[in-house]
Structure 1
Amino acid sequence: MTEPPLADEPRNLLGGRLLPCSYAPLTGYFRDGCCKTDGNDQGRHLVCARMTIEFLRFSLERGNDLVTPRAEYLFPGLKPGDWWCLCALRWSEALEAGLAPPVKLAATHAAVTRYVSRAALLRHAVDPPETV
């Protein structure tokens, strides 16, 4: 079995074409709305997650401020309800703390299973496999 591609023909966690995560705010390592990645993305922004206040606080406590706007990066700052491509390991860390945000499977890159268990992602899915 081959591993899912990282940059060419991205696939989602369900095996289909990777769907967009969010255009407003514009997310993704490439700021194209999708949770795509390549070898330069050290954070592996693979998980399409809906922000919760608990997760945003957790991230801030870990030194990653996702709330404050940063005009120089065209970053509007996130609020609860926003969809965002998260780093796989940050999502995993939040999972261990009991604060993992909900996940959109169809917009989460298949390569995420290199870092996070598929079962954990399925438990946090807003689009269960049988409805996608």
Structure 2
Amino acid sequence: MKIDASVNVLGTELKPCSLDPLTGFLRNGACDTCAEDAGSHTVCSQMTEEFLAFSLYVGNDLSTPRPEFGFPGLKPGDWWCLCAMRFLQAHDEGVAPKVQLGSTHQKALEIVPLDVLKTHAVDLD
């Protein structure tokens, strides 16, 4: 498995997103991606009650623990590498969570425009 270059949407080195809970398609704490990551789990986002309810509504239950998959279940305040398309969908519905640009992989830009990410950024100088 070849990992895509670890560069964020700002063009600098990708920073970790979360080690607790351990996130990322590769479960390395970063929103790294590779060819096998069909969902593009590249947007480092902070969970909110509103977003978690939206995700459940559209068929992706992120709140319920799934120990058989090593998934603890997410709660508001947790940081998680979201699929870029789901993030964009949440943005379009007005329920997008906050993002860390420094921890969001540049590959997210293939789906989510940078200006959209910036409107939800917590680390924009």
Same fold (TM over 0.5): yes
Runs of 4 or more consecutive aligned structure 1 residues displaced over 6 Å after TM superposition: none
The CA distance in 2 between the partners of 1:121 and 1:106, in whole Å, is 11
2:96 to 83, 96, 100: 100
Tell me how far apart the structure 1 counterparts of residues 50 and 94 of structure 2 sit (CA, whole Å): 10
Contact 2:3 2:34 in 1 (8 A): yes
Determine whether 1:73 maps to 2:66. no
Distance apart, 1:7 and its partner CA: 2.4
Q: Which residue of 2 aligns with 1:3?
A: none
Matched to 1:48, the amino acid is C
What is the number of equivalent residue pairs in this alignment? 124
TM-score (norm 1): 0.91
Q: Please state whether the residue corresponding to 2:99 is helix, strand or coil.
A: coil
- Which structure 2 segments of 5+ residues have no match? none
- Please give the root-mean-square deviation of Cα atoms over the aligned residues, in Å: 1.0
Partner of 2:46: 50
How many angstroms does 1:14 deviate by? 1.0
Deviation at 1:8, TM superposition (A): 3.9
User: Unpaired runs of 5+ in structure 1?
Assistant: 1-5
- Kindly, what percent of the aligned residue pairs are identical? 53
- What is the TM-score with the length of structure 2 in the denominator? 0.96
Q: Aligned partners of 1:87 and 1:8: how far apart in 2?
A: 16
